[in-house]
Structure 1
Amino acid sequence: MATNGDLGDLTERVRAFAVERSWEQFHTPKNLSMALAGEVGELLAELQWLTPEQSLAVMEDPELGPRVRAEIGDVMIYLTRLADVLDIDLAEAARDKLADSARRYTVEAAHGSAAKIRP
């Protein structure tokens, strides 16, 4: 599981990767968001036609598991870079969102239900 230190290190490594290649000019929030969406689409494509049971066991598949892992890595890299460019602490943003969701989706109101609760 990632900690703040792990995310900080990843952010620095992804930033350095971009700087070494002079890619900062292309790393606008719009472009990074579009790239992130594309990578999420590639992840979805790997899982699209699997049954729920197959999707739960996907990492046991010697061919599909590594592809899913690589796509998740791509998603994380683009998300990390987008947060960096926007000066957002990714872990803090996730904690804040989780706290907001806990208020909106109380255990009593949401237990065992996938229904959307309006703000």
Structure 2
Amino acid sequence: MNRRRALLVSLAVAVAAVAGVLALGNTVSQAGGARASSAAQIARRTAQLDRYEAALRKSLAQQPPPLPPLPQAGAQATAMRSTAAVRVVYRRPPPIVVKRRGDDEGGRESAYEESGSDD
């Protein structure tokens, strides 16, 4: 390799090294800002959760409203008696008839089924 090419290659490597150092410095400076913003976000979220916890504790300490009075047992029994008993009638569906190949139309089994082999 002649001297001119060696000089060009070494200059290209030097420029790449300088660009790498600048990029590294930029990345490091941005990372420091991210840490500060994440600490502020954590503090804000912690304060929000503390307020929510205080609201939950306050609502837990309060007494629930009183329940409405129960209806009289006689009124409920009368309402139950007034409805007529419903009779449920179950009707079976018609049987499903499956015809297989080789079945006779007359209703008797075919010679294949009479031979004793199971289908």
Query: Normalised by the size of structure 2, how large is the TM-score?
Result: 0.23
Q: Which has the larger radius of gyration?
A: 2
More helix by share: 1
Q: Flag the structure with more relative contact order, 1 or 2, with Cα contacts below 8 A and sequence separation at least 6.
A: 1
Query: Normalised by the size of structure 1, how large is the TM-score?
Result: 0.23
